[in-house]
Amino acid sequence: MNPRTTALRQELARRPLVCDGATGTQLQLQGLAPGACGELWCVEQPDRVQQVHRNYLAAGADLLTTNSFGGTSYVLAGHGAGARVREINVAAARLARAIAGDRAWVLGDVGPFGGMLEPFGDAQHDEVIMAFCEQAAALLEGGADAILIETMSDPVEAALAVAAAKSVGAEFIFATYAFQQSASGYRTMMGTTAAEAVAAAIDAGADAVGANCGTELSLADYEKLTTELVTAAGAMPVIVQPNAGSPKLIDGKIHYATTPADFAATAARFSAAGARIVGGCCGSTPAHIAAMAALLKR
Ligand SMILES: [Zn+2]
């Protein structure tokens, strides 16, 4: 057992933990062009990536997420970097680990592979598992304390990713899905309910389950969704990482209107509803996480 992972389990049983916020938008503030490969910055602009981690650590985050959301060979191939999975993901984990020290845990971030699995699409299960194994192994090699599988829509893909991470030695795995509003309640893009999503992740071996992102969801929606997730998860810890409100297009720019104070107040309600880990997704900043940490750790 990795002693740091053991300590993470113990701390999680003791108090609510604060995760960090958005990475992509923070890198764009430092000059990353929209649509460019942010993961490549782990090797090309390591100081800027570490500045994001440093800002979230200073904000009070207990968990730092590596800059590796699009770090599978499938996504990196779209940027001509499909053969650099190990290099980029090892670097991503090392950068975060060096900032975290003994003050925070590092979550090796794994996003969707970007395609559709058979039978809906043409991606073979075996090949997708291999891609997730390759990424998760590199994140662990670089010093990630746990793996965070996030923004999932397909419970089958989430289960493959969880199983892959487990098979390469991850000792703690978070799995979160992006939900949206539908006529029949909160569902992922694939039509999966919170209960189905949670069950698939737990069956595959996840240690914590929940929701992140969810472009159309308001923070009030997230509060109701948290209750659904907590009910479905039973004894399993629930993690929620909402966007800073629903994005609006103003003058051609995406704008997230929720203030840090409002974000923090809502996060405190998620915690009261049973969420054990709260953080932020798109539009959340170190100021949002700082307000949240101040309220939750009071
Ligand atoms: Zn997001």
Q: Which domains does the chain have, with CATH numbers?
A: 3-296 (3.20.20.330)
Q: What's the 109 CA to ligand 1 centre distance in angstroms?
A: 13
CA of 284 relative to ligand 1 center, distance in Å:
9
- For residue range 263-284, list pLDDT tens digits in order: 999 999 999 999 999 999 999 9
How far apart CA 298 and CA 292 sit, in angstroms, is 10
| 18-45 pLDDT, tens digit each | 999 999 989 999 999 988 999 999 999 9
Note whether 284 and 243 are within 8 A (CB).
yes
Please tell me the distance between residue 258's alpha carbon and the centre of ligand 1 in angstroms. 14
Pick from 126, 205, 113: which is nearest to 152 by CA?
Answer: 113
CA of 281 to the centre of ligand 1 (A): 4
- pLDDT at 247 (0 to 100): 83
> C-alpha 152: how far from its chain's center?
10
Single pTM value for the model: 0.97
Q: CA 202 to CA 198: how far, in whole Å?
A: 6
Identify the three-state secondary structure at position 178.
Answer: coil
Task: Say which residue the tokens 């968990």 belong to.
Answer: 63
Q: Which helix (H) or strand (E) holds 177?
A: strand 173-177
The confidence score (pLDDT) of residue 215 equals 86
pLDDT of amino acid 259: 95
Strand partners, 64: 106
Tell me the CA–centroid distance for residue 29 and ligand 1, in Å: 16
Which regions of the chain are under pLDDT 70? none
1 CA from centroid of ligand 1 (Å): 31
Tokens of 104: 């925070």
CA–centroid distance, 3 to ligand 1, in Å, is: 30
| CA 287/CA 298 separation, integer angstroms | 16
> What's the gap in Å between 146 CA and the centre of ligand 1?
20
Tokens of 277: 């880990």
Q: How many angstroms separate the alpha carbon of residue 243 from the centre of ligand 1?
A: 6
**Rounded to the nearest whole angstrom, what is the distance from the C-alpha of residue 30 to the centroid of ligand 1?**
18
Please give the Cα distance from 12 to 48 (Å, whole number): 30
The pLDDT score that the predictor gives to residue 245 is 86
Q: Cα–Cα distance between 19 and 59 in angstroms, integer? A: 10
Q: What's the pLDDT at 297?
A: 86
